[in-house]
Amino acid sequence: MADTGVVTDDEFVVDESRRKLLLTATAATGALGVAFAAAPFIASWTPSERAQALGLPTELDLAPLEAGQMTVTVWRKQPIYVVHRTADMVATLGNHQALLKDPQSSDSEQPAYAANRTRSRTPEYLVLVGTCTHLGCLPKAHFEPHDPEIGAYWPGGWLCPCHGSRFDLAGRVFEGSPASVNLRVPPYAFAGPRKLVIGVDQV
């Protein structure tokens, strides 16, 4: 070994602790550098300015929406169901608590102002994200109570065609559905008695 380019004779003692220190310092700084360098690339995946611009709140005029009717609009690429509930529809909401998985909506996603009996700011209008909480299909509206296809207990609501999940007129999921949580309520606010803005908590 004495003849190789690497010297290991007795006059020269390798300062192992210094080497270890410098190795650690270099590796640590290098790792920090890699983390800093990775940051812009990871950031580039966040929604671009264009996506953000297109993801602005959606406005909806509620005047044409008749009582008992539902309309579908879009916010941030998601379908949004807006229902103009009749007094009868609202009255059914307390009658089938035992049939629901989460009648108090304690596990589901909704803003604070929708954490109530009707899951909405006002009983008259219901705003839901029209995406089944099972695997993402669009639930179909079945507002007719006691619908023979579904059962005598049926108060009205939605039935998802993909795997059969059922939701009531506040978007709460029925027992026996593959879905485990209630339909989500997006942030929304009223810019006037008949003007809905979806995507913000206040206008």
Spatial distance between the Cα atoms of 133 and 145, rounded to a whole number of angstroms: 23
Asked if residues 84 and 125 have their Cβ atoms less than 8 Å apart, the reply is yes
Q: For residues 37-66, which are near other proteins according to CB under 8 A?
A: 40-41, 43-46, 48-50, 52-53, 56
Q: List the interface residues with other proteins, window 12-41 (CB under 8 A).
A: 12, 14-15, 18-19, 22-23, 25-27, 29-30, 33, 36, 40-41
- 106 is a site residue for other proteins (CB under 8 A): no
Q: Does 98 bind other proteins (CB under 8 A)?
A: no
Q: Which token pair is 65?
A: 């929406």
Please give the order of strands across the beta sheet that includes 58-61.
Answer: 58-61, 195-198, 188-192
Please state, as a whole number, how many other Cβ atoms lie within 10 Å of the Cβ of residue 6. 7
Stretch near other proteins under the rule CB under 8 A, chosen from 11-19, 93-101, 167-175, 176-184: 11-19
Which of 5, 94, 148, 193 binds other proteins (CB under 8 A)? It is 5
Residues 102, 182: contact at Cβ < 8 Å?
Answer: yes
| Contact between 81 and 127 (Cβ < 8 Å) | yes
Using CB under 8 A, count the residues that bind other proteins.
33
Binding interface with other proteins (CB under 8 A)? 1, 3-8, 12, 14-15, 18-19, 22-23, 25-27, 29-30, 33, 36, 40-41, 43-46, 48-50, 52-53, 56
